Structure 1
Amino acid sequence: MHRTATPTRVAARATGLSKVYGHGETQVRALDTVSVEFRRGEFTAIMGPSGSGKSTLMHCMAGLDSVSSGSAQIGEVELASLDDRRLTRLRRDKVGFVFQAFNLLPTLTALENITLPMDIAGRRPDAQWLNTVVDTVGLSGRLTHRPSQLSGGQQQRVAVARALAAQPEIIFADEPTGNLDSRSGAELLGFLHESVRALQQTIVMVTHDPVAASYADRVIFLADGRIVDEMREPTADAVLDRMKRFEAKGRTS
């Protein structure tokens, strides 16, 4: 079924977004007038050479870094309009994060780690939703285990469940399979893909891995701080071919 790009269907949006570091001769333009939308219920991968602006774009869209010019929005909220307190609250209530480092507290059980952000915010988890998330990521039999009793793949599943449990508008994942072996990485990507399908979650993932990108609905390619291409229904081979062409162009330019 075709989705119409109306504001209610957009989880996050960048419009003419630029990010500049430094001044004068040392100035670096990490992002250069980037405009992109991330639709609800869609899995987007961001790829590009080292230094292309992938993580900078994600950090600006997630409110972890300020923009130099242009606009970054979560839903209809303009991030630049928020003071630190309201921005912190928006990140807590509307945004989920999954990073390479699992960032789990070793003294807490898997379940306690999953519900920790809601506990800090003074919110009670939705029991039905929490059960759905735990089942989706395959953690039902591991909730009483502490991180040291879990494999790397299981720890990362806890991190994913923690991001999903608060029902955020959007989840940003920065190289989430970077510290996992290929089997655990494939399991995690399957869980992320399933959370989009079964839970209508919105996920934006930065990755350098064409296989990881093939789990997404679309891939956005960055080079020199600009979006230079987009691919829908990606395959690992097609993504790898596209990346090789970018690298070859970079060597000849």
Structure 2
Amino acid sequence: MTAELRGTLAPHPANGTAAAVTDLSKTYGGGETRVVALDQVSIAFREGEFTAIMGPSGCGKSTLMHCAAGLDSFDAGSVRIGTTELGGLDDRQLTQLRRDRIGFIFQAFNLLPTLTALENITLPLTIAGRRADRQWLDHVVSMVGLSRRLDHRPGQLSGGQQQRVAVARALVSRPAIVFGDEPTGNLDSRAGAEILGFLRDSVRELGQTVVMVTHDPVAAGYADRVVFLADGRLVDEMVRPTPDRVLDRMKAFDTRARTS
């Protein structure tokens, strides 16, 4: 697939699609400082699939994720979570949708230091005025290996344990989709591998849908597919990726950048 295709990966039918963007465009600035972050991007994220988004620095991968997750506005096109069109929602409705149907995992763990691990995990449900499904909560906590750490506050946990809390928090409300922005960026290789394993297991065992932005070929190797961006366009897709194949593809981007 080449850039001449204008970065379009045709969305799959609504049935089985957790989220989709269509002809999505986003620019920053104006005049000589105008930057095209996304240029008519179309892609669907299928239910029960782990997708990694990769590309050179500044290619628009984080912008794509933020727009798809309702965290950032866009200039043209559409964004859907399930069958809900985000462009038609007001701020209150958008906040509710993010709270109830989307899970987030960031590079910074974003835990409240005064709350225990359990309280941080259940915080989205508490804010929504909902009780946790105890069986589901226990299953998620067990999967990420936190059963003996629930009474600990973030300051008493390692970085890897704090990110486990963040993963459990993202999964506890059974969201339609989980977005991760460099979720292993602050972790060592061992802790990062654990987090990636948990995300992969959430897809395979729980049927979760996960979309992750990463620059790391090893991290991308945990995904079911990788989509590649360059200059704000989707230019390639890889199914059943391996770290070596992803690294080779990224090297091709570097080579093109040096010769252009």
Q: TM-score range by the shorter chain?
A: over 0.9
Amino acid at match of 1:145: H
The partner residue of 1:190 within 189, 194, 197 is: 197
Find the counterpart in structure 1 of residue 99 from structure 2.
Answer: 92
- Normalising by structure 1, what TM-score? 0.97
Rounded to whole Å, the distance in 2 between the matches of 1:27 and 1:107 is 42
Amino acid at match of 1:59: H
Aligned pairs (5 A) from 1:134-153: 134-153=141-160
Amino acid at match of 1:110: A
Find the counterpart in structure 1 of residue 170 from structure 2.
Answer: 163
| Unpaired segments ≥5 residues, structure 1 | none
Find the counterpart in structure 2 of residue 234 from structure 1.
Answer: 241
Amino acid at match of 2:112: L
1:43 correspondence with 2:44 = no
Amino acid at match of 2:109: F
CA distances 1:105-153 after superposition (whole Å, capped 9, x unpaired): 1111110000011101101111111111111111111111111111110
How far did residue 6 of structure 1 move? 3.4
CA distances 1:168-188 after superposition (whole Å, capped 9, x unpaired): 110100000000001000011
Find the counterpart in structure 2 of residue 21 from structure 1.
Answer: 28
Rounded to whole Å, the distance in 2 between the matches of 1:166 and 1:10 is 19
CA distances 1:67-93 after superposition (whole Å, capped 9, x unpaired): 100111111111110000000000000
Find the counterpart in structure 2 of residue 174 from structure 1.
Answer: 181
Name segments (4+ residues, structure 1) moved above 2 Å: none
What is the count of residue pairs matched by the alignment? 250
Deviates more, 1:203-212 or 1:143-152: 143-152
Identity over the aligned pairs, expressed in percent? 72
- Normalising by structure 2, what TM-score? 0.95
Amino acid at match of 1:182: S
* Secondary structure at 2:148 match in 1: helix
| Unpaired segments ≥5 residues, structure 2 | 1-11
1:248 correspondence with 2:259 = no
Find the counterpart in structure 2 of residue 133 from structure 1.
Answer: 140
1:220 correspondence with 2:207 = no
Amino acid at match of 1:199: L
The partner residue of 2:73 within 66, 83, 96 is: 66
Find the counterpart in structure 1 of residue 4 from structure 2.
Answer: none
* Secondary structure at 1:130 match in 2: helix
Find the counterpart in structure 1 of residue 64 from structure 2.
Answer: 57
